[in-house]
Every structure is written in C-alpha cells, then in structure tokens.
Amino acid sequence: PLIKELFGLTQLEAELAAYLGVRQVIVVPGDADESDWVKKELGRAGARLLKQVSIPDQIVAVAGGSTIYAVAEMMMPTPALKMTTFVPTRGGLGEAVELEANYIASLMAKKTGGKYRLMHVPEQLSEESYQTLIREPHIREVLDCLRRARIVIHGVGDAKKMAIRRKSPPEVLKKLEESGAVGESFGYYFNRQGEIVHRVQTVGLQLQELTRVEKMIAVAGGASKAEAISSICSILSRDTLITDEGAARAILQKV
Ligand code: F6P
C-alpha cells in the first residue's frame, strides 16, 4: 500500500474503477508490454486475490493465456485452495499447450494441492460435432462443474493479436477487421461498444452463464490492451480488474 501511494496508483485505481464501472481495480506498477517482470507482478496480484477470496469446496473456472499462466505460477497452498476444484473455461482454442485453460487449471491444482478437471475437446468444431460432444457424459459432467463455478478468472486479449495467435483463417481476420473488433475474452470478440462481433465455436462456458458467477476476476496488462480492456470490462468484468499502470494510463489517456 505504501509503494502504491508513492506511485499514485491508489488514485489511478479509483479513477479507472469509476471510468470502467468496475467494482474493484488493482493496478501494479509498470507496463507488461515492456517487461515480463510486470506480467509476473500481475500474476502475483491475481494469486493473492484468489487466496483472499477463496472458500473451501468451491469451483474456480480458469481461462487460458500467458497472464493467467503467470497467476498460476504464483499460487500456493492454503486450506481453502486445497479444497478447490479448478476447471478450464473451455477446451482448446488452437494455442500452445501451456497457454491453454486445461493446462493452466491443472497447474493451479498442482501449485495449491487442489483438484482439477480437464476438458478434452478439439478446437475447431462443426455445429454437428459440437452438438454431439456436449451430450457426451464426460463432457457434460465437466460442463456442469463449470456452471457451478463460484469464481471465474480470465485474461483479456487484443482482438487481432488473439486471432493471429490462434491461427484463425483469413476470412475471420477480415470479419474482425470489418466489424471493428478490439478485444477478446472466452472466445468472444468485442467491438469498442462492448458488442459481440464474432465468437469461436468451442465447448465451454457461455457468456450468458457468467451472470450467475459470484466473482469475476479479469487479469490483463500492457498499454496495447487498453482498448480491449475498455471494451470488455465495462460489459463482462464488472467485479474485479487486475491491470498495470501502462494499461491504466492508456485507458484513461494519461500517457
Ligand atoms: O485464449 C485464452 C485467453 O484467455 C483469451 O481469451 C485472451 O484474449 C488471452 O488468452 C489473453 O492472453 P495473454 O494473457 O497471453 O495476453
């Protein structure tokens, strides 16, 4: 807290919370675009918050990406976390294995001594195979577990960067560009007004199911994610945003 006062971060947190309409904003010093160390700090803040808000026998839904990976890396056992089940928010999205929600959920369980479930589903699904898969008993069970999640922790990405990272076909890239997509989360792409302009068909948590979740925690930093965070957080993550100074200043246009 003292360090935060010194850097004026407390003020920044309050301004950003009011601007985005998010209940709680935590800002760590620096810019994750410029240093990996800042991403580790985002991870530390995320791990600390999870530890503070956790209760025994809860389900935590975990998204993918390098920022949530950083959170997992910083987690440690606590009595409540040992009694927590970590579930991936969705199956693969076509990313490197260590960036996938499955892997990160298992890593959180390993770090805390908790339990985990996996969602073994392929990434690009036709409507037909999607309908078949969600009826599979094993998948249904994991989906049920996901729907009972008390906490959801997720990342936010720049729309174009995410589409490229997922090796989306040219027609998707074109659609995103034309529809003014700026941010991505949970496989949904949003424009500046926070409207969904595209979604990846995968098995997992659906956006409308998030309204039932008790605690939504978004973790995302770096000035390059400013637009993405603004487009998503005012709609999706009204609860808690953990970000860095770089993103916070860029959102508030204080650079
Ligand atoms: O692909 C999973 C995901 O959580 C996306 O929804 C999000 O846009 C992205 O990862 C964030 O990744 P990173 O933390 O590496 O920027």
Residues 180-192 pLDDT 10s: 999 999 999 999 9
Question: How far is residue 214's CA from residue 209's CA, in Å, rounded to a whole number?
Answer: 11
Helix (H, G, I), strand (E, B) or coil at 10: helix
Mutational pocket test of ligand 1: of 69, 71, 104, 184, the residue with most ligand atoms within 8 Å of the beta carbon: 184
Span from the CA of 199 to the centroid of ligand 1 (angstroms):
14
Half-sphere exposure of 92 (CA within 13 A, CB side): 14
91 lines ligand 1 (CB under 6 A): no
Mean pLDDT value across the chain: 92
Closest CA to 213 of 24, 88, 61, 43: 61
Residue 230 pLDDT class (50, 70, 90 cuts): very high
Average pLDDT of span 119-130: 79
- 134 or 190, higher pLDDT: 190
Global confidence as pTM: 0.94
Measured from the CB, is residue 157 less than 6 Å from ligand 1? yes
Note the pLDDT tens digit of each residue in 72-123.
Answer: 999 999 999 999 999 999 887 667 888 999 999 999 999 999 999 998 887 6
Of the two residues 31 and 238, the one the predictor is more confident about is 31
Say which DSSP state 31 is in: -
Residue 66 CA to ligand 1 center (angstroms) comes to: 7
Q: Which atom of ligand 1 is nearest to the CA of 228?
A: 8
Distance in Å, CA 65 to ligand 1 centroid:
4
